[in-house]
Structure 1
Amino acid sequence: MKAWLNMPDSFKSLKEVFDKEPRLKGLKNIINAYSVVADFHIIFPEFNKMVVPVKVEKKRLFLTVENSIWRNELKFKEKEIIEKINNHFKIEIIKWIKFIS
């Protein structure tokens, strides 16, 4: 291991700072929301051609869906999709999904 990787005990990792500093909560939420959009097709590669993640706002994920048939299918699986996203990030980031066609 390289010497520069060994941090003194007084230093905190970025994760520790984001988790424990209340003033950074808003920034952490923005980063988490961006991560959901960025990682959506990693979590759901099967949706690559028919779903486009748009944004996350107030724990609501906005998804553009290719057509109404897929929108209805995904609406049926909404709880499953939310659970899979939250499990991927190990925190509750998403509570609802808004499907747009």
Structure 2
Amino acid sequence: MPDSFKSIKEILETTPELKNIKLLLDDNEVVKDFQKLFPELKSIVKAVKCEKKILTLKSDNPSMRNELKFREKEIVDKINSFYNQERITRIKFSNK
């Protein structure tokens, strides 16, 4: 392969004009991988969306939302360490 060819990942990471697309892809990756990272929460909570480093989780159980709020730092740290970068700064909870 000639040296002039770059992978899509490399292009996304090095091209300033594509920064917003890269952020959008990163956010969607967090939502997609949430169940893989937290299989014990699969039947209780669902990752709905991630926007501006805020992950929205849905749970119909108020006591579970409260418990997850107490574990927020642990969840955020686990997600960020999985990706080796800060992808999430905060978690928001929803019942809708």
Is the TM-score greater than 0.5?
A: yes
Structure 1: gaps of 5 or more residues = 1-6
User: Percent of counterpart pairs with the same letter?
Assistant: 49
Residue 96 of structure 1 corresponds to: 90
RMSD of the alignment, in Å?
0.9
List gaps (5 residues or longer) in structure 2. Answer: none
Q: Distance in 2 between matches of 1:15 and 1:58?
A: 20
Q: 1:14 pairs with 3, 8, 26, which one?
A: 8
Report the TM-score when normalising by structure 1. 0.89
Deviation at 1:72, TM superposition (A): 1.0
Distance in structure 1 (CA, Å) of the matches to 2:46 and 2:7 = 33
TM superposition outliers: structure 1 runs of 4+ over 2 Å: none
What's the CA shift for 1:33?
0.7
Aligned pairs, number? 95
| Residues 49-99 of structure 1: per-residue CA shift (max 9 Å, x gap) | 000111011110000013111111111110110011111112111111001
